Amino acid sequence: MAKDNSKNDTKKAPKKEGSYGADEISVLEGLEPVRKRPGMYIGSTGPDGLHHLIWEIFDNSRDEAMGGFCDRIEVTILPGDTVRVVDNGRGIPVDIHSKTKVSALETVMTTLHAGGKFGGEGSGYKVSGGLHGVGASVVNALSIYTKAEIHRDGGKFIQEYSQGKKKANVKKIGSSKLHGTIITFKPDAEIFKEGTTFNWNTIVGHLRQQAYLVKGLKITIIDAREIDPKVLLGGKGMESLDEVFYFSEMNLEVPSYSFYFEGGLVSLVAFYNKGQKAVQDTIFYVEKEVDGVGVEVALQYIDDISTKIVPFANNIYNPEGGTHVTGFKTALTRLLNTYGKKNNFIKESDGGFTGDDVLEGLTAVISVKLREIQFEGQTKAKLGSMEAQGATATAFGDAFASFLEENPDEAKQIVNKAILAVRARKAAKAAKDSILRKGALEGMTLPGKLADCQTKNAEESEVFIVEGDSAGGTAKTGRDRRTQAILPLRGKILNIERARLDKMLASEQIKNLVIAMGTAIGDTFDISKLRYHKIIIATDADVDGAHIRTLILTLLYRYFKPIIDGGYIYIAQPPLYKIKKGKEIMYAYSDEERDKFIGKDGPSLEELLSQSEEDEIEAENTDEPASAKASTGEGKAKTAKIHIQRYKGLGEMNAEELWETTMDPARRILKQVNIDDAVEADKVFDMLMGSDVAPRKSFIQTHAKMAEIDI
């Protein structure tokens, strides 16, 4: 638990000259389409879209900070899936808007594309999230309850809404010496049918990242969901939130984080590379404006083969990159080629570096700020503004060229890293070509271990990756031969986290898997040639099975990420128990299901395991034999023997059991693998599967008590 006891007088927040009144609020269109098609505005109505509501409100406050009008933002998760976002900015204007003839606050909160971000030189913001940052009005439309509380011009003003419609006009409820905006909202369960529960780690991770991007901004996140609102507010109801500006000044005993980074992007790169061996000790950094585009780049090479490029445009994370990333990569490749040839590091016969060569082991954060910004898509995943490409290439190129000249030792290390990548690329290509030629010439297009399905339609085909020949044999017998293929793996595959492609393809197990999927690998990867649209990992429910599953997922994440992104990877969920209760048989996939079937008045597992043979135990070929008598009814007791079989592996099932529980599409349970946070996923794979022991040891020690160990 982290507590923030610091005080920050909201009256002393930095303020810059700049008009921000009702006439700076421009109106483009109405609000009704949002509830009809919410996915167009927030991406989805699942967990990602739910959290996007917080980002939209936070982004408005962050834009105030980027303009120099705010230095503190607080986000609190309140009971009942309610969120409260506070900033000490100028406060949304409350005077009458000349076009809408209602309060500017009401205009902002109830009209789509209304805000201080769409005008020209005299508008409220120089830089913001852009036209797709539709902000407060969309959050309002998708919330069952919203309240805006404004502190400005010596007064305190509020307005409440439901599903985007105002409950009453803006009213002044008192005087205030503070300035800022407080938005409180509760997502509408009618829209978010998957649930309205916010993920604490998702919020902390996103807002920590934002703190790195705005120097001098303090961001506090508080999880107050477990506190009774009446206790929280001195016995008063939720309406008493009006009496509180910052919860962080109340010293609440709740989970809390505060982030403040003077180092900006340099601190963020250092955070990403924590625990890694650096190739260059000095983190390169440049901040420069070119043709009205602000460019910031920080980078560092580490002793690794993966690449991490994290791009932002107006502080919006762009997971799909965009023009700024293109400009950066072009300049980086050109500069290292020029430097390498000029200093005779690169031989003419080598042919120079490719883009992939110079990216190996690179961690880079790119942040651009534009006044007029264009994204490809509503969720701002990819920057489309063409001026960002040239500006990034120029600003980064000039500064990085100087860095290489001024730091010859570090420059040599970087170039040598790229030279090593060139050699590995050529060796990997030779190994890959050899494998593909061998497959074509010898008629071994598919591995001999693979029991393929009959259909050639990838959309209805699925392959089960199973552990060992025993499980493979059972699965081959029990499968639907028309649509289901079986590929058994022998033992644990190579950990590819630190292995190059040539070494990887020398592994028989990995080679079999690559050929079976049909997509090829590396620069010849083609997802359209994927032979199965369901790739199902079916390993045993023990430690070894979990390790093999992790090794396979590491391979897929590093070399076949588009297959994961496409939703083609699944994890099978075989049952943990087979239970016979009299003549009735059921399979339990969890301890809870097992206990429910036995019945609350029936014997517990401990009781079943403690019975003696005198109590008529009948054990079934298992390491957890158990049986008991359950008494039911009144008078003469009726007995029903209970037999529990604990499965440790798929090989313990016969073909019929495996089909019924794990392979039958009508009854099986599959978990689809997806990547909610690519940056966090990258860190986890690196920590768990990488060569550095210290972070892994720390993780194990921290989470040891959470482990469920089979003995």
Beta strands 362-369 and 180-187: pairing type?
unpaired
Catalytic residue, chosen from 542, 593, 595, 692, is 542
Give the tokens for residue 438: 């061998």
Question: What is the C-alpha to C-alpha distance for residues 446 and 515, in angstroms, rounded to an integer?
Answer: 6
Give the tokens for residue 493: 């595959």
Catalytic residue, chosen from 467, 502, 657, 682, is 467
CB atoms under 10 Å from CB of 246, counted, come to: 20
The H or E element spanning position 87 is strand 82-87
Q: For residue 57, what are the β-bridge partners? A: none
Catalytic residue, chosen from 188, 462, 540, 686, is 540
Question: What is the C-alpha to C-alpha distance for residues 115 and 146, in angstroms, rounded to an integer?
Answer: 17
- Give residue for tokens 């007995």: 639
Respond yes or no: is residue 540 known to be catalytic. Answer: yes
- 401 Cβ contact partners less than 8 Å away, ≥ 6 residues apart: 335, 338, 339
- 628 Cβ contact partners less than 8 Å away, ≥ 6 residues apart: 602, 603, 607, 608, 611, 615, 617, 641, 642
The H or E element spanning position 390 is helix 387-406
Position 464, amino acid: F
**Phi/psi-derived region of residue 520, left when phi > 0, alpha when psi is between -120 and 50, beta in every other case:** left
- Give residue for tokens 């420069």: 288
Question: What is the C-alpha to C-alpha distance for residues 159 and 242, in angstroms, rounded to an integer?
Answer: 12
Catalytic residue, chosen from 153, 544, 620, 677, is 544
- 190 Cβ contact partners less than 8 Å away, ≥ 6 residues apart: 144
Respond yes or no: is residue 433 known to be catalytic. Answer: no
Q: For residue 155, what are the β-bridge partners? A: 152, 175
Question: What is the C-alpha to C-alpha distance for residues 535 and 646, in angstroms, rounded to an integer?
Answer: 26
Per DSSP, the three-state class of 278 is strand
The H or E element spanning position 697 is helix 693-703
- Give residue for tokens 């899936």: 81
- Detail the DSSP E strand segments found in 236-392: 256-259, 284-290, 293-301, 308-313, 316-317, 362-369
133, 40 contact by CB (below 8 A): no
Closest CA to 289 of 391, 196, 430: 391
Q: At what angle do helices 678-689 and 693-703 cross, to 10 degrees?
A: 100
Query: CA quadruple 300, 303, 308, 309: dihedral positive or negative?
Result: positive
- Give residue for tokens 């030629």: 437
Long-range contacts, 519-524 (Cβ 8 Å, 24+): 519/560, 519/563, 520/432, 520/436, 521/432, 521/559, 521/560, 522/428, 522/429, 522/432, 522/559, 523/356, 524/432
Q: For residue 579, what are the β-bridge partners? A: 586, 644
Respond yes or no: is residue 542 known to be catalytic. Answer: yes
Q: For residue 84, what are the β-bridge partners? A: 76, 184
Respond yes or no: is residue 606 known to be catalytic. Answer: no
456, 518 contact by CB (below 8 A): no
Question: What is the C-alpha to C-alpha distance for residues 80 and 186, in angstroms, rounded to an integer?
Answer: 8
Give the tokens for residue 257: 């984080």
Q: At what angle do helices 265-272 and 200-213 cross, to 10 degrees?
A: 130
- Give residue for tokens 């919020």: 203
The DSSP secondary-structure symbol of 382 reads S
Question: What is the C-alpha to C-alpha distance for residues 646 and 622, in angstroms, rounded to an integer?
Answer: 6
Residues marked active site are found at 467, 540, 542, 544
